[in-house]
């Protein structure tokens, strides 16, 4: 379904709200909460922005200071590393991790041995036993993964992102807000959006929010894939939204994005820069990727053709909109 933003910058699929999938493991949030320096990132209400967007409430999930780093990404990395380390005996030191169908893993294992370190090599099903034995003979720990490597470490990273959405579940009632009507997610390869889909589409049918992906217009691989109905790559250019500059969606994320996203929109650098300035005016020091969430909400909910787009997302004047502001202003300082 497309509306008057043009099929190259807008996509909607209302049926996505009825799709369901399994949730992330519940212990992810507890793991993050056990880390030194953990605190839920703020969920900040911006009433003036709600008026502009013609909705009831706008809340910004501000990831500018997450476990001491200026972006949400450490949620995924910390959980994935925890999972990897849990495969080793306690007290192990440096670990080189590789995913391989043979040669690369053996090379990593050899180098690890030469440098006196350990290696952990993920081997997908179907690799010849002799190749597996050769890697093990280099002293590496070999771990079989069902299916492809794509289903191991990246899925832990995605699972790690679930904490961000679990926090929102706790924060909204504390702000006397109901469940979100719309959650807006900046998208690069789509792993964070996959986590959003897994979170909201694993709730009882009908309770899910509309989920909107936002990409730079110069790297809108998810929008192009959704529009075509198949995973495609697009050429990328230069954008201030550096973390979103990805032309090929994650193949692991793709089934979730295809089935579970209600909408996708492309925004320009100028849109992001304007949103960044606006957020700064409200005291939120967002980076360009984080500000893309506000730019995307504005592109979807206002302007020519907004009525049809709002209809597709089921957004009325009382809607609660959550913007995932994925990075702070100092996440990607100029070189």
How many positions of this chain bind ligand PLP (CB under 6 A)?
Answer: 17
Of residues 213 and 313, the one with the C-beta less far from ligand PLP: 213
* Closer residue to ligand PLP in complex, CB, 98/244: 244
Q: Does 326 bind ligand PLP (CB under 6 A)?
A: yes
Nearer to ligand PLP, 109 or 226 (CB): 226
Number of H helices, E strands in the chain: 13, 10
> What stretch of H or E contains 286?
none
- The minimum distance between CB 297 and ligand PLP, in angstroms, equals 15
Site string for ligand PLP, 165-204 (x = CB under 6 A): ---------------------xxxxxxxx-----------
Residue 155 Cβ, how far from ligand PLP at the closest point, in Å?
A: 12
**75 is an interface residue for ligand PLP by CB under 6 A:** no
- DSSP class of residue 41 equals P
Report which of 295, 256, 255 is spatially closest to residue 278, judged by C-alpha positions: 295
* Position with the least CB separation from ligand PLP: 243
Coil, helix or strand at residue 271: helix
H/E element, 78: helix 74-85
Q: Does residue 112 interact with ligand PLP by CB under 6 A?
A: no
Burial of 2 (C-beta count, 10 Å sphere; 0-12/13-18/19+): middle
Per CB under 6 A, the list member of 138, 262, 271, 327 interacting with ligand PLP is 327
How many Å apart are CA 15 and CA 259, to the nearest integer? Answer: 8
Find the shortest distance in angstroms from Cβ 101 to ligand PLP: 24
CA distance 267 to 326: 16
User: Could you give the string, one character per residue 232-251, with x where binding to ligand PLP holds by CB under 6 A and - elsewhere?
Assistant: -----------xx-x-----
**Other beta carbons within 10 Å of 195:** 27
Asked if 105 interacts with ligand PLP (CB under 6 A), we say no
Contact between 289 and ligand PLP by CB under 6 A: the answer reads yes
Q: Which residues in 160-171 are b (16+ Cβ under 10 Å) and which e?
A: bbbbbbbbbeeb
Q: Interface with ligand PLP by CB under 6 A: which residues?
A: 71, 73, 186-193, 243-244, 246, 289, 326-327, 331
């Amino acid at each position: 379904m497309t509306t008057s933003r043009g099929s190259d910058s807008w996509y909607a699929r209302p049926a996505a709200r009825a799709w369901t999938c399994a949730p992330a493991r519940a212990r992810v949030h507890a793991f993050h909460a056990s880390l030194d320096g953990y605190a839920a990132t703020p969920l900040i209400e911006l009433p003036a922005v709600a008026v502009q967007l013609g909705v009831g409430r706008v809340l910004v999930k501000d990831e500018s200071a997450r476990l001491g780093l200026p972006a949400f990404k450490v949620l995924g990395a910390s959980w994935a590393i925890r999972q990897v380390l849990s495969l080793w005996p306690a007290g192990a030191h440096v670990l080189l991790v590789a995913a391989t169908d043979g040669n690369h893993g053996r090379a990593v294992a050899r180098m690890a041995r030469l440098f006196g370190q350990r290696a952990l090599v993920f081997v997908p099903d179907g690799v010849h036993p002799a190749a597996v034995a050769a890697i093990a003979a280099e002293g590496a720990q070999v771990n079989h993964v069902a299916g492809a490597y794509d289903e191991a470490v990246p899925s832990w990273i995605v699972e790690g992102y679930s904490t961000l959405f679990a926090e929102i579940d706790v924060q909204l009632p504390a702000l006397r807000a109901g469940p979100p009507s719309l959650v807006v997610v900046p998208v690069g390869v789509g792993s964070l959006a996959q986590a959003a889909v897994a979170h909201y589409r694993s709730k009882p049918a009908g309770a899910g929010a509309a989920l909107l992906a936002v990409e730079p217009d110069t790297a809108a691989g998810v929008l192009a894939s959704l529009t075509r109905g198949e995973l495609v790559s697009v050429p990328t250019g230069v954008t201030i939204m550096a973390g979103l500059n990805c032309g090929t969606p994650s193949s692991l994320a793709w089934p979730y994005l295809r089935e579970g996203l209600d909408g996708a929109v492309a925004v320009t650098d100028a849109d992001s820069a304007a949103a960044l300035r606006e957020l700064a005016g409200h005291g939120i020091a967002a980076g360009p990727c984080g500000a893309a969430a506000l730019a995307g909400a504005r592109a979807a909910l206002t302007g020519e053709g907004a009525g049809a787009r709002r209809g597709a997302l089921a957004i009325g004047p009382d809607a609660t909109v959550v913007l995932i502001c994925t990075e702070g202003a100092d996440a990607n300082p100029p070189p």
